[in-house]
Amino acid sequence: MMTYKGYSANIEVDSEAEILFGRVLDINDVVTFKAQTLEEARQEFQNSLDDYLEFCKELGQEPDKPFSGKLPFRTTPEHHRKIFIAAKKAGKSINNWMDEVLIKAAEQSINT
Residues 6+ apart with CB under 8 A from 24: 7, 8, 9, 31, 32, 45, 48, 49, 52, 66
* pLDDT at residue 7, rounded to an integer: 95
- 14 and 45 in a single domain? The answer is yes
Q: How many structural domains compose the chain?
A: 2
Q: Are residues 53 and 6 in the same domain?
A: yes
Residue 71 lies in a domain: no
User: Are 9 and 51 in a shared domain?
Assistant: yes
Share of the chain above pLDDT 90, in %: 87
pLDDT tens for each residue of 52-69: 999 999 999 999 988 778
Distance, CA of 40 to CA of 32 (rounded, Å): 13
Report yes or no on 41 lying in a domain. yes
pTM for the predicted model, two decimal places? 0.66
